[in-house]
Amino acid sequence: MYIGRIVAVGRTRGGANAGLYRVSSRSFPNRKAVELSGHLAIVPREGHEADLQKNPYITYNCVRLTASWAVVSNGSQTDPIAEKIETGMPVRDVLATVLGALDYEKDDYNTPRIAGVVPLAGDTAWLGIVRYDALVVKAVALEAGRAHYLATYEADDVRDSQSSDFDASDATGAARFLFDGGAFAGFKHPVTSAAALVEGSHFALATWIV
């Protein structure tokens, strides 16, 4: 099944919270996740920079950290979500405000904007999506060994059924899990992924690429 871009929030069996993001793409597969000054971004692979002229939505920060949260998303909403959280605004209100203001992407597919926010310490994460026909923001209870996900197609709502077993020993393992682990292994056209995983008192960042 092809479900497009994926955000997920979860907790390893050992109790480490994680925010996860994967690019799955049929139209623009020549991309990679990279670390830039303490955050993770999706950029074209070398030799494919001209893709930006075809679609302005294909490059963006996909993971950004605050003092207490990790934000994962599929577009330019990543930065304002993190910045508003840093002001002390409740996460639910931040997601509703930013996603509602930016709205879905005005590309050929009306691609939804999706986002996940996971705490450094705490048992509640958040998932949000804005589609052409709806804006949904919901709290998600974090459970050891589970990840809850949301995607741009098919899995484009926050549903209890959209969860997978999940485990990783480090941030790199968490990023890779989105390719061949649990339910994610059945989702087609993986391109690159990124993860923020709690290690000790901070989030560690990592990327994965096929």
Residue 165 forms part of a structural domain: yes
CA–CA separation, 73 vs 64, rounded Å?
9
pLDDT by residue for the chain (210 residues), tens digit each?
Answer: 999 999 999 999 999 999 999 999 998 889 999 999 899 999 999 998 888 888 889 999 999 999 999 999 999 999 999 999 999 999 999 999 999 999 999 988 899 999 999 999 999 999 999 999 999 999 999 999 999 999 999 999 999 999 999 999 999 999 999 999 999 999 999 999 999 999 999 999 999 997
Residue 44 forms part of a structural domain: yes
| CA dihedral sign of residues 11, 12, 17, 21 | negative
Residue 173 forms part of a structural domain: yes
Tell me if 56 sits within 8 A of 76, measured CB to CB: no
Residue 58 forms part of a structural domain: yes
Which CATH number goes with the domain that contains 170? 3.60.20.20
Nearest to 175 by CA among 4, 66, 21, 14: 21
Other CB atoms within a 10 A radius of the CB of residue 166 amount to 27
- Beta strands per DSSP E along 25-119: 31-36, 39-44, 60-65, 69-73, 113-119
Residue 161 forms part of a structural domain: yes
CA–CA separation, 35 vs 62, rounded Å?
10
Instruction: Please report the pLDDT score of residue 56 as a whole number.
Output: 87
The number of distinct structural domains making up the chain is 1
Instruction: Please report the pLDDT score of residue 110 as a whole number.
Output: 95
Instruction: Please report the pLDDT score of residue 200 as a whole number.
Output: 93
Residue 36 forms part of a structural domain: yes
CA–CA separation, 32 vs 195, rounded Å?
13
CA–CA separation, 196 vs 194, rounded Å?
7
Residue 1 forms part of a structural domain: no
Range of the domain at 88: 6-209
Q: What would the two tokens of residue 83 be?
A: 């910045």
Amino acid at 146: R
Distances (CA, A) of 128 to 9, 22, 28, 77, 81: 11, 16, 24, 11, 11
